[in-house]
Structures are given as C-alpha cells and as structure tokens.
Amino acid sequence: MADDPFHSAQSDLESLLQQARPLLTSYLRIRSSASSATSPELVEARQELEGTLTDLTADLQDLVDSVKAVEGDPGRYGLSHAEVDRRRRLVGEVGREVEEMHSQLNTTIQTSDARKGGGGLAHPDSFGSAADEDGDPLAGQGDEDDGYGEWEQQRQMEMMHEQDEALDGVFQTVGNLRLQADTMGRELEEQAEMLEDTENIADRVGGKLANGIKKVRHVIEKNEGMFAGRCGTIGLISFKGFRLTNRTDRWSSCFIAVLIFVLILLLILVLVL
C-alpha cells in the first residue's frame, strides 16, 4: 500500500485544491468590485485560476482512470471493496467541487451559457445506497451459509453496477471539464499572440522614428553650415560696399549703401524662407 501510486496522485490533487480555493475566493472578490470584465487585475486573477483548474482536471482524470482499473478485481491489487468505495467517494467529491469552480468562473467568461446539467457527478452517498436500502434478507435464518453467500454475491453485483453508472457520470463530467480547459488554453494562446504582435509593431515604429530623427539632425547640421557660409558672403559684400563709398562722392556713397542694405535684407529673407 505504501507504493500505491493512487496515494501520491491523491496528495497532489489535494494540494492543488488547497491552492484553487483561495484563488477562487480572490477572483470572486475582485469580480464583485471590478468596473469592467477586462480589468487587468480581474484578467490576471482569472488566468491564474484557469491554470490551476486545468491542472486539477488532469489529476482528477488520472484518479478516475486508477479507480476504473482496480474496481473489477480489487483483491488482485491488494485492495478491499471498502477502499475502492472510499476512492470512488473521493473522486466524486473532488469532481463536484471542481465542476462548481468551473461554473462560477464561467459566470463571467460566458454569461450566455446555461449551467450544464445532466452528466454531473453522482452524489458520494449513492455509492453505498444499495446496501442501506436492501437490508439483509437472510436475517433470522440461522447458519444457512450457502444462501447468505448467494445473497452477498448478488448484492456485490448490484453495488458494482450502481458504482459503474456513477463512475460513468464522473467520466462525462471530467470530459466536459477538459473541454473547458482546452478552450481556456486556446484563449490564453490567442492573447499571447496578440501581445507579441503589439511588441513587434512597437519595435518597427521605434526604428522608423529613430531613422527620422537622424535625418532631421543631418538636415539641421547641413543648413547650419550653409547659413555660416552665406553670412560670410554678406560680410564680404558689406566690406566692399564700404570701401566703395570712400572712392565716390557723398551722394553716390549713400545710394550704394542703401542698395547694399536692400540686397542684404533680400538675402536674409531668402535664407529664412
């Protein structure tokens, strides 16, 4: 029994349940105060809860498969019927709790979907109901061992039939949960792709902006050089104009000075425009 893998899987499942319960409580609290279904805090809490429920569903499927494998001949695996019944009840209780978590999560993810009926997990008490209702039909008949053995065999067959039906319900519910987990996984993948596309667009825009800034800087530096050269030309023209005024009479000098001033003004306007 110490090497039974069921106990290890049960321990992992219970650990995940301990993680999922506070996550669900936190998600419901954030949902009740969130102003929008796309609130970053709400989306983060939902994604964290979805991941934990996906792991829970996978572990639950493993336990269901384990119970199904040993129920036909428990003695072959060193198990009693009582232990198999306990495992069935555990699977039923966990499956019902996980299904309820999915239902509360889907209240906001898909508000138009009705809560799924049918295919639900059987109540754990139903595994032993046959024994409680049938009673012992051989009570008071003394030591009729053969009759009691036949009745006990029939009772065990009826119990196994009822347990098979309950386990089929567990299989159906686990299948539904796995489909929901797959849908959630696809939604997370689509969101990751959208974020990656946004990052690529931002990188391309940043590169183009950097190239544009370099071109503007180059044009400014080039214009600064041209402006310095033209200022030198203006100074030379002014110097020659003043020299010319010294060689002519007074009226000619004034006219030339005015002309030079007009030329300088026109040159400045050309540079500015």
| Residue 170 maps to a domain | yes
pLDDT score for 268: 80
Residue 74 sits in which domain range?
Answer: 8-116+161-188
Tens-of-pLDDT digits for all 273 residues of the chain?
A: 456 788 888 888 999 999 999 999 999 998 888 888 788 898 898 999 999 999 999 989 988 988 888 888 888 888 888 988 998 999 999 999 999 998 888 875 444 334 334 444 444 444 444 444 444 444 444 454 455 556 656 666 776 667 667 777 776 777 777 777 777 777 777 877 887 787 788 777 777 777 778 777 777 777 666 655 555 565 555 555 555 555 555 666 677 777 888 888 887 877 766
Q: How many residues does the chain have?
A: 273
Domain presence at residue 72: yes
What predicted TM-score, i.e. pTM, was given to this entire model?
0.42
CA trace torsion 169, 170, 176, 179 (10° rounding): -140
The count of domains in the chain is: 1
Neighbour count for residue 262 (Cβ, 10 Å): 10
The number of beta carbons lying within 10 Å of the beta carbon of residue 119 is: 15
Angle at 167 between CA 186 and CA 18, to 5 degrees: 55
In a domain, 3, yes or no: no
Residue 42 lies in a domain: yes
How many CA atoms lie less than 13 Å away from 168 in the CB half-sphere?
A: 7
Residue 75's pLDDT is: 86
SS3 label, residue 200: helix
The answer to the question of residue 203 being in a domain is no
**pLDDT, position 48:** 92
Q: Is residue 263 situated within a structural domain?
A: no
Compute how many other C-beta atoms are within 10 angstroms of the C-beta atom of residue 16: 20
Give the model's pLDDT for residue 120: 41
Residue 174 CB contacts under 8 Å (≥ 6 apart), including other chains: 57, 60, 61, 64, 95
- CA 64 to chain CA centroid, nearest Å: 27
Is 235 a domain residue?
Answer: no
Asked whether residue 74 is domain-assigned, the answer is yes
CATH number of the domain where residue 19 is located: 1.20.58
What separation, in Å, do the N-terminal and C-terminal C-alpha atoms of the chain show? 95
